[in-house]
Amino acid sequence: MIDSSVAVSCSNCSVRRLCLPAGLSLEDIARLEQVTRKKKVIKAGESLYRPGDSFQNLYAIRSGSFKSVIIAADGDTQVTHFALPGELLGLDAYSKQVHSSYAEALEDSSVCRLPFVQLEILAQQVPALQQQIYSIFSEELRQENEILMLLGKRSADTRLAALLINISSRYASRGYSHSEFILSMPRTDIANYLGLTAETVSRLFSRFQRQNLIRVNGRVVQVIDLLGLSELAGTHCGYEGDI
Amino acid sequence: MIDSSVAVSCSNCSVRRLCLPAGLSLEDIARLEQVTRKKKVIKAGESLYRPGDSFQNLYAIRSGSFKSVIIAADGDTQVTHFALPGELLGLDAYSKQVHSSYAEALEDSSVCRLPFVQLEILAQQVPALQQQIYSIFSEELRQENEILMLLGKRSADTRLAALLINISSRYASRGYSHSEFILSMPRTDIANYLGLTAETVSRLFSRFQRQNLIRVNGRVVQVIDLLGLSELAGTHCGYEGDI
DNA sequence: CGATGTCTTGACCGATTTCAACTCGCGTGG
DNA sequence: CCACGCGAGTTGAAATCGGTCAAGACATCG
């Protein structure tokens, strides 16, 4: 449950520039750390919360990755997001004070548990934090709009290309290689997220490899032709283009 | 630009229960009215803002309806939302301080212009307003997730049925009939929103009519068999089920 | 009364799904 | 140590849903 002897805090967190502390003064970060103190380790396949759970906390990802999934009345599921370190999970539960989705770790991961009431109170006192919260909400809305276009208008290959570009750029902004990475999710999750079937996704991976756009081996992906892939994605590659 | 001799304000606005004032005390509403004072009339086809415009205001719809549309690099568009009275437009522009979508009136409409800086300052002082803003953000996220499932997993007829149910229930929560209404948007917009073509939407309207689910005449829709329609939609009908 | 844009309908086509078989890698237990 | 089973991934062939193209109906507005 607790990470180590060395204090884990926002100030020395590797993703602080992408997370809640972004834009805060050192002083304000110190106050934020009072809220973000509780760490939690989540093993692959475990859930942070499930539909029906009451909304108490936001979770900031420290390491690992998650998928957000909603479940329809008929049991059908939709993966709505793949979340990486620095991102916040749980925002969509505020209005109903109950989670309507679940967040499952795709690999062994760790998160900061943020009691929202406390965060809310602090934000009331720290305008920069307030703004950062708005910003995160707003950015998430913007991103969902892009995914809407992806699902509504784009062909299967464009969708997968866009996801690869997206993941690549998000890894890059976290200091990892953008040309070689390991997908932490199975094909079925990718397919579900993109509104396709696992078979189609598999075929596309094979085709992209034949076209020398990427090299795939199971979940290991090597981007060979980033430009070609971007063209396929039509630069509709979603968020975090730079930073 | 100005509405009339009678003061138009939140306190006597017909959609106050669905808008920012929801949950505020009379006293707080009075303070909010200082921010919401500026009204604006928008004619059908005109835009509230366009991609690239700097983010200054949020807009609360008083009457009429709008579509939110994003434009991809290749010029392709995606309708992301149909907005009705009481709803807020522009939230997705906060993080970049620039609009990335446009909001176009589907009919002659009127809105309250809310300078966001002022709203932000007031929210800092009025916790209930703060919470209402969070709530609206959060609810919008939740709704987009449902649309994601609609576009990712559902067949054409389910999508249209879900939209009809959704619009019907939203009209109902605004005090209008849920069994008979006028669609303010053309088929092309419906199709674009649902990730279909106008032809498919048209065919579905005809089929729904043959199946005695609805009666259509151009944009006038009469829901004959709400239960049947809901079943088709699989209760994946989106937001505002009650209230 | 013609013009323009919206809507409808039909016939055909193609991308993606569906169904099915097969491979691969891995952990378990005999 | 190896056989086995299982889930994940791949690949092929057939079926289908929705898209595309094209023509015509309808309405509104000058």
pLDDT per residue, tens digit, chain B (243 aa), is 444 445 678 999 999 999 999 999 999 999 999 999 899 999 999 999 999 999 999 999 999 999 999 999 999 999 999 999 999 999 999 999 999 999 999 999 999 999 999 999 999 999 999 999 999 999 999 999 999 999 999 999 999 999 999 999 999 999 999 999 999 999 999 999 999 999 999 999 999 999 999 999 999 999 999 999 999 998 755 544 443
Choosing from B122, B144, B166, the residue where a domain stops is B144
Residues A26 and A144 in one domain: yes
Residues A106 and A183 in one domain: no
What is the span of the domain harbouring residue B77? 10-144
**Does residue A107 belong to any structural domain of this protein?**
yes
CA dist B60 and B56 (Å) reads 13
DSSP B108: S
What lies within 8 Å, CB to CB, of B13 at 6+ separation is: B19, B21, B62
Is A103:A81 a contact under the CB 8 Å cutoff?
Answer: no
Chain-chain contact of A142 with B236 (C-beta, under 8 angstroms): no
CATH code of the domain in which B22 resides = 2.60.120.10
Residues A95 and A179 in one domain: no
| H-run or E-run covering A164 | helix A156-173
Residues A228 and A169 in one domain: yes
Residues A37 and A64 in one domain: yes
Choosing from A90, A120, A148, the residue where a domain stops is A148
pLDDT for residue B238: 52
**Residue lying closest to nucleotide D21, CA to C1':** B199
**Does residue A4 belong to any structural domain of this protein?**
no
pLDDT for residue B234: 84
- Residue of B151, B197, B235 to mutate, interface with A, max A Cβ within 10 Å: B151
Is B62:B93 a contact under the CB 8 Å cutoff?
Answer: no
Residues B15 and B121 in one domain: yes
Residues A134 and A191 in one domain: no
Grouping H, G, I as helix, E, B as strand and the rest as coil, residue B130 is helix
Distances (CA, A) of A103 to A47, A93, A106, B20: 5, 12, 9, 29
Number of H helices, E strands in chain A: 7, 11
The per-residue b/e assignment along B44-79, b for 16 or more CB within 10 angstroms, e otherwise, is eeeebbeeebebebbbbbbbbbbbbbbbbeeeebbb
Residues B137 and B163 in one domain: no
Closest alpha carbon within chain A to B232? A74
Residue A206 pLDDT > 80: yes
Q: How many Cβ atoms sit within 10 Å of the Cβ of residue A230?
A: 20
Choosing from A99, A122, A148, the residue where a domain stops is A148
Residues B29 and B138 in one domain: yes
Tell me the chain B residues in contact with residue A140 when contact means C-beta distances shorter than 8 Å: 141
A176: nearest Cα among A82, A40, A94, A84: A84
**Does residue B243 belong to any structural domain of this protein?**
no
To the nearest whole Å, the CA of A101 is away from the closest chain B CA by 9
Residues A79 and A192 in one domain: no
Into how many domains does chain A fold?
2
B213 is written with which tokens?
A: 């689910």
